[in-house]
Structure 1
Amino acid sequence: MQQRNAKATAAPQSVTTGPLPGSRKVYHQLGDGIAIPFREIAVSDSLMPAVRVYDASGPYTDPEAKIDLEGGLPELRKAWLGTRNLGATPGRAVKPEDNGGAMGDRLVAPCPAERTVRIGKPGSAVTQLEFARAGIITPEMEFIAHRENLGRNERLAEAGERVAEGESFGADIPEHVTPEFVRSEVARGRAIIPANINHPELEPMIIGRNFLVKINANIGNSAVTSSAAEEVEKMVWAIRWGADTVMDLSTGRNIHNIRSWILRNSPVPIGTVPIYQALEKVDGDPTKLDWEVFKDTLIEQAEQGVDYFTIHAGVRLSFVPLTAKRVTGIVSRGGSIMARWCLTHHKESFLYERFGDICDIMRRYDVS
């Protein structure tokens, strides 16, 4: 188990590792040295074969893996990304406000792992969606197809016995998932592959109606408690118990530097709510937010490797009065931030008005 550090600003030194009880990490070898990870569960009846299941825990459950938190996880996608027409950029300089103004002994050191900051070139395919619509099967799609096929025949047989009356809304789950099927579903807009080009440590996965159900877990520091060590440990425990994606909902100081530790050591997609960090940059006052602060935050997080954003662009000025008689008001924190901004300035949400610009920024890094 991880040893807790006395100082909240201490860098992570260790995390929980080792296989889950009754399980072991196994790999299915593909060409080019690519290994698809699975979890093999021993069955108490020795006459029964072991059961293999989908596994998103990364190298943390592999006893042979050498975990180096300062160096980050191996860059699984580095060679794949190297074959694409991507540019390299020095990236934006880290500003004090990125970490909530934390300085001195209050500042968490960033993860020292060095990574190339990639950016899409104009006119070149960058996103998995663009490759899919161009008819190109990427290594990420091949990786995903092999992950999705494990145990599919058995599950389909069981599902057939439980089919209920109702509308399928176009669900068309195949008996065997091919890389071409993955490409086709992404091209049709029925599935997404959250995989920022600046998150090379990522083990590719897919979210869509014709694929396995995926689970998200939320972590995050606050103004009250937590540290880089605790957040990395939370992420590791989340994926040990089956989380397919993790959202960093940090709201306190050191957001940028803590996120660097999470990203460099995460084998699953990491998401954020950018407005949370943008709010910290303006001292927690929603009325001081503007497009430039939000835009800067998007670029900052995209360059770090954040794979997907939650953006409350649907909270518009004309909709805010409709919440007055709701029993629970506005439940969403991000939604309430934007509602406050709209009412104070009596203007349309800059997230709504600039949504096209937001998409352009996200495309350059393949953020979902």
Structure 2
Amino acid sequence: MTQMLAARAGDITPAMRRVAEKENVTPEFVRQGVAEGTIVIPANVNHKNLDPTGFGKGLRTKVNANIGTSTSFPDIAKELEKLQVVLESGADAVMDLSTGGEIDRGRRRIIEESALPVGTVPIYQAFLENREKRGSMIAMSAEDLFEVIERHCADGVDFITVHCGITLEVLKRIKNQSRITDIVSRGGSFLTGWMLHHGKENPLYEQYDRLLEICLKYDVTLSLGDGLRPGCLADATDRAQIQELIILGELVDRARARGVQAMVEGPGHVPLDQIAANIQVQKTLCKGAPFYVLGPLVTDIAPGYDHITAAIGGAVAAAAGADFLCYVTPAEHLGLPTLEDVREGIMASRIAAHAADIVKGVPGALEWDKQMSTARKALDWDKQIALAIDPRKAAKFRQERNPEGHEACTMCGDFCAMKIVGQYLGKEPETC
């Protein structure tokens, strides 16, 4: 029985209880959200060491980190090192987007070593295997694709990105749209090439019921991918993007009818003033399904700093109702991220998520800031570092840039505003 079917039967599962404990809400609140589909708990029955996490309405905004090999860098060991950084940096989920090396072995190692929910994009492997076996990615058949999907699910993957909303009708829209960047989704481009070459409908759309059966078997959550997400500001919120979203909303209904959990992925590159509208449209068309957004990136001109452009958009998106932020690293658009890029991307997204949680009134969010303010007033550096979203970096800066035993920081030195005012007001720092 899936988490959704159990919730509808009135059962509170151990996963629901664990999510409630982590979120400081009642188990019944979680059960009701899962039953309605506004909360998902990706929890494959074969992921044995999973610490369940909830995504959706009324819960803390979550952050995903992508790792994975490429054809240029196929070393699994490097990606397992990144997984450790993901775990240490406080991400809430990890996706294996591998396209090189021993993909099956790498995925199984990641699932084995991760207590976080693990996601994948099975179509990557399906196309790559056909290139290796038959010399062409477009030689893939629907059977090939569904075999790889079931392989991922059997291994214990908790959620899968599937680009079910790209149909032949939608592709007509993009042809007439005159986009600058056309399709920037890797999975979306693979499927589009296959569909146009064969003149056939998207098998993920045409055989959607088959996909649901696989998800039911393993309790895998669908992450309905945005294959036509905008790759630049000029392409944002166009007809192709919205038509795909309409189809995804219909597919959410069909998943819920079968008891399969589903969330929906979103843009992309979006101007700041369009982000809230994008969230509202998604929430309406998809009937409150959890929204998983990449960024959104609010400008196209910042390679090397796209973790910042994404964090700006992510904060606005989450405050408007997005539930799950996919991190963007400084290396986005430039190359495969390093260990430090992964850490920086996670921290930027976590800051955005927390800023939004304050707006949403998530339990404990504002209290965290109040505790930091009290520690700052008291010049309690140990507590400030402990409360920091990235204690490692805070401790490093404090140690490297201040003399040992120096009470104030070197930014103000002897002219620490809080210390001076506290003395004149008769409020010593340690009493604040």
User: TM-score over 0.5 for the alignment?
Assistant: yes
- Return the structure number with greater helix share: 2
Contact 1:228 1:261 in 2 (8 A): no
* 1:195 matched to 2:43: yes
- Give the deviation of 1:227 after TM superposition: 2.1
Structure 2 counterparts to residues 1-368 of structure 1, below 5 A: 126-149=1-24, 177-283=25-131, 285-324=136-175, 325-368=178-221
Amino acid at match of 1:263: I
SS of 1:239's partner is: helix
TM-aligned CA deviation for residue 321 of structure 1:
3.1
1:320 Cα deviation from its structure 2 partner: 1.5
Runs (5+) with no aligned partner, structure 2: 222-432
1:12-40 residue CA offsets vs partner (Å, 9 max, x unmatched): xxxxxxxxxxxxxxxxxxxxxxxxxxxxx
**1:360 CA drift (Å):** 0.7
CA distance in 2 between partners of 1:301 and 1:365 (Å): 10
8 A contact 2:76–2:101 mirrored in 1: no
Confirm or deny: 8 A CA contact 1:286 1:338 kept in the other structure: no
Greater relative contact order, per chain length (Cα 8 Å cut-off, separation 6+): 1
In the aligned structure 1, how far is the partner of 2:83 from the partner of 2:41? Answer: 20
Contact map agreement 1:251 1:276 (CA 8 A) in 2: yes
| Residue 234 (structure 1) shift | 0.8
Contact 1:227 1:258 in 2 (8 A): no
Amino acid in the other structure paired with 2:131: D
Structure 1 residue 327, shift from structure 2 partner:
1.3
* RMSD, matched Cα: 1.1
Check conservation: 1:248, 1:271, Cα contact below 8 A: yes
Q: Structure 1 vs Structure 2: percent identity of aligned residues?
A: 44
Give the superposition deviation at 1:295: 1.1
TM-score by length of 2: 0.49
The offset of 1:228, in angstroms, is 2.4
- 1:328 deviation in Å? 1.0
Per-residue deviation, 1:263: 0.6
Letter in 1 for 2:215: M
The answer on whether the counterparts of 2:33 and 2:57 sit within 8 Å (CA) in structure 1 is no
Q: 315-324 or 342-351, which moves further after superposition?
A: 315-324
Q: Which amino acid aligns with 1:281?
A: E
Give the Cα–Cα distance (whole angstroms) in 1 for the partners of residues 205 and 124 of structure 2. 17
Question: Does the 8 A contact of 1:270 with 1:306 survive in 2?
Answer: yes
In structure 1, stretches of 5+ residues that fail to align are 1-125, 150-176
In 1, Cα distance between equivalents of 2:27 and 2:23: 10
